[in-house]
A = this chain, B = another copy of it.
Amino acid sequence: MGIAHVFAVVLAGGRGERFWPLSTEACPKAFLRLVGRQSLLQATVDRARLLLPWTRILVAVGRAHAGLVRQQLPELPDANLLLEPFGRDTAAAIGLASLQLERLDPEAVMAVLPADHHVPDADAFAASLRQAFAVLESGPAWVVTIGIRPTRPETGYGYLECGDPLPDLPGASHVRRFLEKPDLKAAEQLLRDGRHYWNSGIFLWRRTTIQGLLARFLPEIWAGLCRIREGWGIEDVLIREFAAFRKLSVDYGVLERMDGSLAMVRGDFAWDDLGSWDALARVLPARQDGNVIIGEVEPVNTSGSVIISTGQRVATVGLSDMIVVASQDGVLVCPKGRSQEVRQFAGETR
């Protein structure tokens, strides 16, 4: 098979509520330039572009953000922009993408790439994807995920338990089970035992495989997708069916209910899903005073803090290990380690 039939499906429908007040309804997390000069979406597509031409990169996004995608990815073909009428999480988004792939290439292989990850070493990432393609070539019904070797006892990620290696497929193993986000003690154990990997949310499968799994585990969603397929291009149908879909991730809805044919590639590169402002503190370089500073910020007697402004001046005195973020939509102030609680504010953005 090689990579002739591989398509990347970049999922950019998430809101990134924990990055309030930068991430907003108008400009969600994937479109922000949180690290470096590119948005997370642009960086994700660049990584895919190491292996794939533009014609085989699809981006699934809420319809309100079509303009942002066109602005940030002007080379993306129009037919490759999948607009979700409502956010219904990854099962519905992936199902919709499978329908479009079916039209573009019946033999399509789908690499699902969340648009909001931080992966500094794009080459190592591409090498892992190639290993995953090799697994898919070896047998028709594999579901392959990329597990990331953990570097800290992270409680914010799900984990994969790595099973027996797949013969003749370097870097690839069976997945024994999925683990929900652990508590700190459990996470420390998982880190020590060497058998557990972070669930990156990157999945690869044939178009036919995922459609079969959706039909088996999520028959209601699949029935809706079939009606969308029959009425392809009819706006009303798409809207009606999406409105009725449950919000469900493909992890919960499909993968955790599978009982075999689950493989993983052991990724050994730096990876972060940038789940919160604390994560950003981890990946951005600090200045000599230990602060991560973006924008017009004056930190006085301030250390170990993340201070970001997209507009106004921000002045701090006597802070340590704090997060301060100011945008035109709001101001957030919280100590490091508490930024998971930011999500609650995002809903009420004006």
Pick from A33-41, A228-236, A336-344 the stretch touching chain B.
Answer: A336-344
Q: Would B330 and A318 count as touching, CB distance under 8 A?
A: no
CA distance A328 to B333 in the complex (A): 17
Query: Among B300, B313, B319, B348, which residue has its beta carbon within 8 angstroms of that of A331?
Result: B313
Does A317 make an interface contact (CB < 8 A)? yes
Q: Would B316 and A333 count as touching, CB distance under 8 A?
A: yes
Query: Among B300, B322, B331, which residue has its beta carbon within 8 angstroms of that of A341?
Result: B300
Does A345 make an interface contact (CB < 8 A)? yes
CA distance A21 to B313 in the complex (A): 9
Does A213 make an interface contact (CB < 8 A)? no
CA distance A64 to B327 in the complex (A): 30
Q: Would B338 and A314 count as touching, CB distance under 8 A?
A: no
Q: Would A333 and B342 count as touching, CB distance under 8 A?
A: no
Q: Would B300 and A313 count as touching, CB distance under 8 A?
A: no
Question: Which chain B positions have C-beta within 8 A of A313?
Answer: 21, 329-331, 345, 348-350
Query: Among B300, B312, B324, B338, which residue has its beta carbon within 8 angstroms of that of A318?
Result: B338
Does A315 make an interface contact (CB < 8 A)? yes
- Minimum CB–CB distance from A246 to chain B (whole Å) comes to 29
- Minimum CB–CB distance from A268 to chain B (whole Å) comes to 35
Query: Among B319, B341, B344, which residue has its beta carbon within 8 angstroms of that of A334?
Result: B319
Does A309 make an interface contact (CB < 8 A)? yes
Does A285 make an interface contact (CB < 8 A)? no
Q: Would B334 and A317 count as touching, CB distance under 8 A?
A: yes
Which chain B residue has the least Cβ–Cβ distance from A328? B312
Question: Which chain B positions have C-beta within 8 A of A341?
Answer: 300-301, 317-318
Question: Which chain B positions have C-beta within 8 A of A324?
Answer: 331, 333
Which chain B residue has the least Cβ–Cβ distance from A330? B313
- Minimum CB–CB distance from A139 to chain B (whole Å) comes to 48
Does A119 make an interface contact (CB < 8 A)? no
- Minimum CB–CB distance from A157 to chain B (whole Å) comes to 22
Which chain B residue has the least Cβ–Cβ distance from A312? B330
- Minimum CB–CB distance from A301 to chain B (whole Å) comes to 8
Which chain B residue has the least Cβ–Cβ distance from A307? B333
Does A298 make an interface contact (CB < 8 A)? yes
- Minimum CB–CB distance from A258 to chain B (whole Å) comes to 38
Does A332 make an interface contact (CB < 8 A)? yes
CA distance A331 to B297 in the complex (A): 9
Q: Would B318 and A331 count as touching, CB distance under 8 A?
A: no
- Minimum CB–CB distance from A195 to chain B (whole Å) comes to 35
Best-buried of A318, A324, A331, A335 by chain B (most CB within 10 Å): A331
| A/B interface sample: 10 pairs, CB < 8 A | A309-B331, A312-B331, A314-B330, A315-B330, A315-B345, A316-B332, A316-B333, A317-B334, A318-B341, A333-B333
10 new A-B contacts at CB < 8 Å, known A20-B315, A313-B349, A318-B335:
A21-B313, A313-B330, A313-B348, A315-B345, A317-B332, A317-B333, A317-B334, A326-B331, A331-B331, A333-B333
